[in-house]
Amino acid sequence: MTKYAGMTPQGEVKTIISSQRPLAELQHLHPYSLYPCPENVVPGYFSRDHGETFEAPPEAPHAHALFNYETHIWETDNEKAWKALRDIRNKLLADTDWTELPSASHRLSPALQAEFLTYRQRLRDITETSDPMSVIWPTKPVA
């Protein structure tokens, strides 16, 4: 049984096929170029030399990174990073929603109410930041 890596033109391994059939019989049945590969190769690996050698991408630098199989470097997935930022921001806003209720004036001094108003506005303004990876989060007032 021979193991083949189905690769994109950029060298990304998209699929693995194990077959006893010769490569020539398999190639026309598959959307990717097939190359014989070692047992340890899995989808996500890449080859810089058209199937001569295979390697795993280096470890991602952060949770919002996508590996570019053409340049072989990690890039920030801005859409994913902005979504994560908004999710965190929305949770922080929800955690302080109680400060907007009329009953909050009984629990908070006027100065502390003003601090919460400022904090919440800074959270809303976070999406105006140009880079989702360099956000400076405001400090939550202590109630």
12-55 pLDDT, tens digit each:
999 999 999 888 888 888 888 999 999 999 999 999 998 899 99
85-132 pLDDT, tens digit each:
999 999 999 999 999 999 988 899 999 999 999 999 999 999 998 888
C-alpha distance from residue 97 to each of 1, 57, 114, 119 (Å): 61, 43, 14, 12
Residue 113: closest CA among 124, 134, 98: 98
Phi, psi of 123 (to 5 degrees): -65, -45
Locate 137 and state its tokens. 């989060």
Locate 90 and state its tokens. 């929305």
pTM of the predicted protein model: 0.62
Q: Which residues contact 95 (CB under 8 A, 6 or more apart)?
A: none
The distance from CA 37 to its chain's CA centroid, rounded to whole angstroms, is 28
pLDDT at 95 (0 to 100):
96
pLDDT at 82 (0 to 100):
94
